[in-house]
Amino acid sequence: MADRPEGTAQEGRNKPVLSLHVPEPTYRPGDAVDFSHIAVTQAGAQPRPDEACHASETAPLTLDLVRVLGDDDLAHGPWDPKLDADTLRQMLHHFAMVRAFDARMYRGQRQGKTSFYMKCTGEEATSISAAMALASDDMVFPSYRQQGILIARGYSLVEMINQIYSNRGDKLKGRQLPIMYSSREHSFFSISGNLATQTPQAVGWAMASAIKGDSRIAATWVGEGSTAEGDFHSACTFAAVYNAPVILNVVNNQWAISSFSGFAGAERTTFAARAVGYGIAGIRVDGNDPLAVYAAERWAANRARANGGPTLIEHFTYRAEGHSTSDDPSQYRSAQETEEWPLGDPVNRLKKHLIALGEWDEDRHAAMDLACAEEVKAATKDAEKNGILGHGLHHPFATMFEDVFEELPWHLVEQSKQAIHEREVKFPEGRPQ
C-alpha cells in the first residue's frame, strides 16, 4: 500500500475523506441550453383530491406538476376550473396591463424618473390568476413581484406610479423603496424588502382571523430562494400547529438574483415537498399555466375557508428578465434560457387558449395591447404632475417624523425641530425647485 502523504488532515487515520458539495447551475453564459431534465407532465393527468382530504393525500402532488392547458391549447383533466370566456378575457386583460405597466416603468427608471423597478415578465399568472381565485377581501401578503394582484383588484395605476416615483402624491410619503406598495382598502399588506418576513405575518393574520371567527383567509407569496430563510420555516411550523387558514405561495422562478434555485435546496427535492415534512397540504403547479394556477389557488382557498388548514403551492415558473433594473442576467445565465423554457409564456398560452375556444383573435389582442399601453401612458402623465424622483416635489420634510407614534416622544420632537432648523438655515429662501 502506498504511503500516506505527510501533513494531511487524515495522517495516521484509516477513514474516508469527507467532501463538500457546492450546487452548480447547469448553464453558464455562452453555454447551450438543454431543459430536457425538466419533466413536463401531461396536461390533465394529475388527480385532484377532495379539498377536505387529509394533507398526506396531497404528497404525490408535491413531486408532480399540475397542468391544465395542453399542447392543443385546450383545458384537460380534473383541475380544469371551467372558467367562462368573460373571466378568461378579464384575466388576459390583466396580463396585458401588467406587461404594459412594466414596460413603461422600466423605461421610466432608465430615464431617471425613479431609482428602481422590478418586472414580473413570465410570472404574471402566479399573481393575477392566483388573486382572481381568492375573494377580494382575503388579505394578501405579497413579495416584490406581485404587482399583478393590485391590478387585478382594481388599484389605481396613478397611485402605483406615485409610489414608484416617491412624489408628493405618494400615499406612503416616500418611506418605501419603489414598488413596495401598500393598500388597506385592497387588503394588500405592505411589501417588505426583508426576505420572507411576510410569511409569518400572513400566518399570524390568518390565525387572528380564525380567533375572531372571521371568514377571510390569508395568502402570501415568497420566492424560492427566500424559503431558505428562517422566517419561512417558522411560518410553516405555526401554520401546521394551529391549522391556520393560509396559502403559502412559493414562486420558483429558478433564480434568486444571481443564485440559482439549487442553493435553496432544489437539487434535493421540490419546494412543494417541504409541505410533507410539516404535515400540511402541498401542490406543485405549472406556474405558466393560468388555468392550473387558478385551480390550485381556488382549491387551497376553499380548503382554508372550510377549516382544512394551510396549503403550500409551488408555482414552477421562470423569471424571463433580470431580477431588477439593477441586475444583468447575462452575467450569470445563458441568454437562450428564456426562449428555451419548456413551459412557455403565460400570456401567450392564455391567448392561444381563448383563440382555440373561438373567443379571441390576434386583431383583438393587438388592440387590447395598444389600449393598455395608452392607459398606462395617460396614468404616467397624471402621476408625473406630482413629480418624479429628485426634483423637489415631495412631501413636506416634517412628515418624516409622523405616522409612527400617536404622540411624538420628546426626543423625536427635539430631533424634528433641529432638522427643520438646519433645513431653514441651509435653504433660507426655501428649497430650490
Residue 177 DSSP SS3: coil
Using CA atoms, how far apart are residues 124 and 287, in angstroms rounded to an integer? 9
Select from 138, 62, 71, 85 the least CA-distant residue to 296: 62
pLDDT above 70 (res 275): yes
The pLDDT assigned to 400 comes to 84
pLDDT above 60 (res 8): no
Which amino acid type is present at position 243?
N
Which amino acid type is present at position 184?
R
The pLDDT assigned to 355 comes to 98
Number of other residues whose CB lies within 10 A of the CB of residue 93: 16
- To the nearest 10 degrees (0 to 180), the angle between helices 362-384 and 157-165 is 50
Which amino acid type is present at position 253?
N
Residue 274 DSSP SS3: helix
The pLDDT assigned to 247 comes to 99
Domain-by-domain residue ranges, the chain? 55-384, 397-426
Q: Is the pTM of this model over 0.85?
A: yes
The pLDDT assigned to 427 comes to 80
User: With respect to CATH, is domain 55-384 assigned 3.40.50.720?
Assistant: no
Enumerate residues 6+ apart whose C-beta is below 8 A from 220.
140, 141, 142, 198, 199, 201, 202, 203, 235, 246, 247, 248, 249
Cα atoms in the Cβ-side hemisphere of radius 13 Å centred on 293: 27
Lowest mean pLDDT among 87-96, 300-309, 402-411: 402-411
Q: Are 281 and 307 in contact (CB under 8 A)?
A: no
Which cell goes with 416?
Answer: 424634528
The pLDDT assigned to 3 comes to 58
Residue 218's beta-bridge partner residues?
A: 139, 246
Strand arrangement of the beta sheet that strand 218-223 belongs to: 139-141, 218-223, 246-252, 311-316, 281-286
Question: What is the DSSP-derived secondary structure letter of residue 247?
Answer: E
Lowest mean pLDDT among 23-37, 106-120, 268-282: 23-37
Q: Are 263 and 47 in contact (CB under 8 A)?
A: no
Mean pLDDT of the chain: 94
pLDDT above 90 (res 1): no
Lowest mean pLDDT among 134-143, 274-283, 290-299, 419-428: 419-428
The pLDDT assigned to 73 comes to 98
**What is the mean pLDDT of the segment spanning 291-298?**
98
The pLDDT assigned to 71 comes to 97
Q: Are 95 and 152 in contact (CB under 8 A)?
A: no
Look at the chain and count its residues: 433
Q: Could you tell me the end-to-end alpha-carbon distance of the chain, in angstroms, rounded to an integer? A: 83
pLDDT above 60 (res 395): yes
The pLDDT assigned to 377 comes to 98
pLDDT above 60 (res 415): yes
Write the pLDDT tens digit of every residue in 342-375.
999 999 999 999 999 999 999 999 999 999 999 9
**What is the mean pLDDT of the segment spanning 70-89?**
98
Helix (H) or strand (E) holding 282: strand 281-286
Chain centroid to CA 243: how far? 24
**What is the mean pLDDT of the segment spanning 284-289?**
98
Question: What is the DSSP-derived secondary structure letter of residue 314?
Answer: E
pLDDT above 70 (res 12): no
Write the pLDDT tens digit of every residue in 183-221.
999 999 999 999 999 999 999 999 999 999 999 999 999
Q: Are 249 and 262 in contact (CB under 8 A)?
A: no
- pLDDT tier at 113 (50, 70, 90 boundaries)? very high
Strand duo 259-260 + 255-256: pairing = antiparallel
Write the pLDDT tens digit of every residue in 42-66.
999 999 999 999 999 999 999 999 9
**What is the mean pLDDT of the segment spanning 17-22?**
95
Select from 225, 232, 293 the least CA-distant residue to 75: 293
Lowest mean pLDDT among 104-108, 128-132, 392-396, 414-418: 392-396
- pLDDT tier at 27 (50, 70, 90 boundaries)? confident
Which cell goes with 275?
Answer: 409541505
Using CA atoms, how far apart are residues 268 and 282, in angstroms rounded to an integer? 17
Q: Are 125 and 353 in contact (CB under 8 A)?
A: no
The pLDDT assigned to 390 comes to 81
**What is the mean pLDDT of the segment spanning 130-157?**
98
- pLDDT tier at 19 (50, 70, 90 boundaries)? very high
Helix (H) or strand (E) holding 410: helix 410-426
Strand duo 218-223 + 281-286: pairing = unpaired
The pLDDT assigned to 404 comes to 86
The pLDDT assigned to 14 comes to 85
Q: CA-CA distances (angstroms) from residue 382 to 75, 111, 158, 161?
A: 41, 17, 7, 9
